[in-house]
Amino acid sequence: MMRPWGLLGAWVATLYASSPSLAWNATGHRIIAAIAYERLNPGTRAQVDLLLKHHPDYATLLTRDSPPDPEARARAAFLAASVWPDHIKGDRRFYDDTRKDATPTPLLPGFPDMARHTNWHYYDIPYAPDGAQTEKQPPPNALSELRRLLRETGTSPRDAYDLPWLIHLAGDVHQPLHCTSRFLKSQPKGDAGGNGVIVAPGGNLHFFWDSAAGSDGSDAYIIRFAAEVTHEYPVPRRLSKDPKKWIEEGFEIDKREVYSFGLESGSREHPIELSQAYQANAKRLARERIALAGYRLAAVLNEKLKRSVKVILHGQQP
């Protein structure tokens, strides 16, 4: 299932280009990463820092404008890594491997491939509230790749490249609309995770939910937001490490909360007006999901990176 699509997709792309960079694509991902980084065991944190130093974009994208203090620089690299998979969507070194006529760009040192992997960012469980026919999303997708990453992390020569993907995708699937595509008889191709539902405010439903954590990318805002949500939503007694469960939770939220306005899809001329109560509830849910994503990300990293990664970085067998 491809995103975006048709004339509506072109309009949505224009809307995104003219809007500030918001939430789960930047601010939200950084908040999740900040929550997780603070909860890494000392040994895990040292290994994460070492892996990111071996990422091919460490000196350019991951530590650009970062503080000189080594500990602050390592933390900044981890937060930047959380956004790296979104950054490469517009990076000309990489190509869109989802296109049938895709031509791979030259392989650069340190990268296993130069694909953008845009279909890794979501796993759309079909939702058909009016009985419309649905389509399943084939792999690769967020579920297949999270399972692979969790299986391979700590054992693979790709770890330095894969770590930003694990950080990012764990955050992505805690945004409910990365877990669903709604199919209606009036919208038989699906809404691509709410991208095809036009709302006010926000332009489209997906963008509205992406924006629920705010637009301030400053470290002061991220620290404050992380402190607030971890106080509001403490670590639960049991932390699921199963990405399938994470996605199923998002799907249930979509059915119960996200599409609570009914079967409308809206239009540019007549967008669905999201009530103040809906907006307040979305912000509350976003805060809860962001806290949970941070806790779960820390838990899987603490579990998967228990041993030294030096042998992996040298391409040797453990």
What is the C-alpha to C-alpha distance for residues 261 and 117, in angstroms, rounded to an integer? 32
Q: Flag whether 308 is in a domain.
A: yes
What is the C-alpha to C-alpha distance for residues 245 and 255, in angstroms, rounded to an integer? 15
User: Rounded to an integer, what is the distance from CA 282 to the centroid of its chain?
Assistant: 17
Q: Flag whether 127 is in a domain.
A: yes
Cα-trace Rg, the chain? 19
CB proximity list for 84: less than 8 A, separation 6 or greater: 57, 61, 62, 164, 168
Q: Where are the alpha helices (DSSP H) in the chain?
A: 6-18, 27-38, 42-53, 70-81, 84-87, 142-152, 159-172, 205-210, 219-232, 243-253, 276-304, 310-313
Question: Looking at residue 119, what is its pLDDT?
Answer: 97
Q: Flag whether 13 is in a domain.
A: no
The contacts found for 10-16 with CB under 8 angstroms, 24 or more apart, are 11/268, 12/195, 12/203, 12/204, 12/207, 15/203, 15/204, 15/207, 16/203, 16/207
Count the domains in the chain. Answer: 1
Q: Per residue of the chain (318 residues), what is the pLDDT tens digit? A: 435 433 334 334 333 333 333 336 699 999 999 999 999 999 999 999 999 999 999 999 999 999 999 999 999 999 999 999 999 999 999 999 999 999 999 999 999 999 999 999 999 999 999 999 999 999 999 999 999 999 999 999 999 999 999 999 999 999 999 999 999 999 999 999 999 999 999 999 999 999 899 989 999 999 999 999 999 999 999 999 999 999 999 999 999 999 999 999 999 999 999 999 999 999 999 999 999 999 999 999 999 997 666 545 655 433
DSSP letter (8 states) at residue 228: H
Domain of residue 116: give its range.
20-98+106-261+273-313
Q: Flag whether 32 is in a domain.
A: yes
Q: Which residues pair with 187 in a beta bridge?
A: 184
Question: Looking at residue 114, what is its pLDDT?
Answer: 98
Name the nearest CA neighbour of 161 among 81, 236, 221: 81
Q: Flag whether 199 is in a domain.
A: yes
Q: What angle do CA 82, 102, 247 make, to 5 degrees?
A: 40
- For residue 252, give the CATH number of its domain: 1.10.575.10
Q: Flag whether 307 is in a domain.
A: yes
What is the C-alpha to C-alpha distance for residues 308 and 83, in angstroms, rounded to an integer? 25
Q: Flag whether 4 is in a domain.
A: no
Amino acid (1-letter code) at residue 96? D
Q: Flag whether 187 is in a domain.
A: yes
